[in-house]
Amino acid sequence: MDRALLADFLRTRRKAVQPEDVGLIRGDRRRTNGLRREEVADLSGVSADYYTRIEQQRGPMPSGQILAALARGLRLNSSERKHLFQLGGFTAPREAGQRDEVSPTMLRIIERMSDTPVVLFSQLGEALAQNALATSLLGDYTRLTGLERYFVYRWFTGDSMLRDLFPIEDHTQRGRVFIAEIREAHTLNPNGPAREIVDALIALSAEFRHMWQLHEVGVVHHRELKRYWHAELGELEMYCQLLVEPDDSHVLHIFTAPPGSPTEEKLRRLTVMTRS
């Protein structure tokens, strides 16, 4: 946390917001540029004394919840909100309804890889984009909403379409992998969106609670030859190569079959089926 920069940023934004912007009446006797400290405190649901201490570089470090409240009170845009959290020593959690943006370059890469299934995932296991072949093989993950957007949530709440994609004897290992991935995101940002997923699964899934308590980390899976099941093609054995974007925010999953294998031929058939 940088107390001086945090205080200066809040002070600057407070002076930039006009009373009319937040539904307040300016009044003839107002001398302050922008909002008063007590007005920001009231809009944010904190005490005026607490807010004043932050601007004066005093008091404890604000929590993520307090920073979120100040962002709402000051009507910060997404860039300003992210900056506020960084100054406070946090990673800004995703806002309700907010989805990661996929770069045009990444979309072009996905579209041009037409002969192999590819899916772009967020750090939390949300499918952000996928090509037609991946949709034919796995289903359309991008249409999902709410917590069902997240792979780990669907797995541990018994999504039959997802679970049937893997042979039952592989289910324990798949679960270990999914938990290790969400644990990494949760550890990096304990107050971020991963917390909502973890809290929901602890309440809903005894299997998740048991495996979460094992505290496994670093369960590697992408180098393995994994088995999948397709209703028309039967079993497929594929590798899943991961390409991570420079800022580590998105991971492209590229599914490939060993050269000359039965699965390679099945993917060719799936390509024809998808295009027809």
**CATH among 1.10.260.40, 1.20.58.220, 3.40.50.2300, 3.90.550.10 for 3-87:** 1.10.260.40
pLDDT of amino acid 105: 81
Q: For residue range 105-127, what is the model confidence (pLDDT) as tens digits?
A: 888 888 889 889 999 998 888 99
Model confidence at 100, pLDDT cuts 50, 70, 90, reads low
Share of the chain above pLDDT 70, in %: 93
pLDDT of amino acid 247: 59
- Does position 93 have pLDDT exceeding 90, yes or no? no
Q: Compute the residue count for the chain.
A: 276
Element (H, E) at 212: helix 206-213
Average per-residue pLDDT for the chain: 87
Record the pTM: 0.65
Answer for the pair 146, 157: CB distance below 8 angstroms, yes or no.
no
- Does position 97 have pLDDT exceeding 60, yes or no? no
Residue ranges per domain, the chain? 3-87, 104-275
Class of domain 104-275: alpha beta
Answer for the pair 179, 152: CB distance below 8 angstroms, yes or no.
yes
Calculate the CA dihedral of residues 10, 16, 48, 5 and round it to 10 degrees: 10
